[in-house]
Amino acid sequence: MFEWMTGLVESSGYLGIALLMFAENLFPPIPSELIMPLAGFNAARGPQEILWVIVSGSIGSLAGAFFWYGIGRWIGCPRLKRWSERHGRLLTLAPEEVERSYDWFNRHGGIAVFIGRLLPAMRTLISVPAGMARMNLVPFLLYSTAGTVLWTSFLALAGYWLESGYTAVAEYLDPVSTAVVVVLLAVYLWRVATFGRRQSA
């Protein structure tokens, strides 16, 4: 996969970077922690400008975020409540918890989206509840853009400054990404195991 990403970035330039970052949001095993430092490294060698590397990466990533926001809007709170009535344990959500989550996101959705776009694994997931809560599109895009540009800038500039050592960025961030996924999975399994107990409390 690394050779394929390298070839796409080198042959397709900014469009390739945008497409890879879009794909990363749809299929997280394609890591932004490697795409953007690689693109920054290429910019340091001369074929591309670092500013446009950041812009193209951010556009691709935001397109992916908007896709999942649309999925969230399609699901919506009423549909999720119906699903939770039938499959509550699997979803680890009861209808009243869906309602509370909806209210919480309406109060704190902006900062949740901003922080979520800075966290590995959460970067994709945070767009779904934003869509489900019918978060206004303009604030969603503003907070998503702020978090996304910070993340892509950090990764691209790290690759730009480190040049041939850009793969060190992925080596340091990969354990963090793995830890986030493990924690999310552990929380999900805990919620499944304690679903009945939480309902009777």
Closest C-alpha among 4, 18, 187, 30 to residue 120: 30
* pLDDT number for residue 145: 95
C-alpha gyration radius of the chain: 19
* pLDDT number for residue 66: 93
Q: Which residue has the tokens 């989206």?
A: 113
* pLDDT number for residue 170: 55
pTM of structure = 0.73
Contact assessment for residue 159 and residue 35, using Cβ atoms and an 8 Å cutoff: no
* pLDDT number for residue 54: 95
Closest C-alpha among 24, 32, 20, 26 to residue 69: 26
* pLDDT number for residue 164: 57
Burial class (CB in 10 A: 0-12, 13-18, 19+), 27: exposed
**Along the 201 residues of the chain, how does pLDDT read in single tens digits?**
555 566 666 667 889 889 888 988 877 556 667 788 888 888 888 778 899 999 999 999 999 999 989 888 888 877 777 766 665 566 555 666 667 777 777 777 889 899 888 877 677 778 888 888 888 899 999 999 999 999 999 989 988 887 656 555 556 555 655 665 676 667 656 655 665 655 555
* pLDDT number for residue 146: 96
Q: Which residue has the tokens 């095993």?
A: 29
Paired tokens of 113:
């989206």
Paired tokens of 69:
């926001």
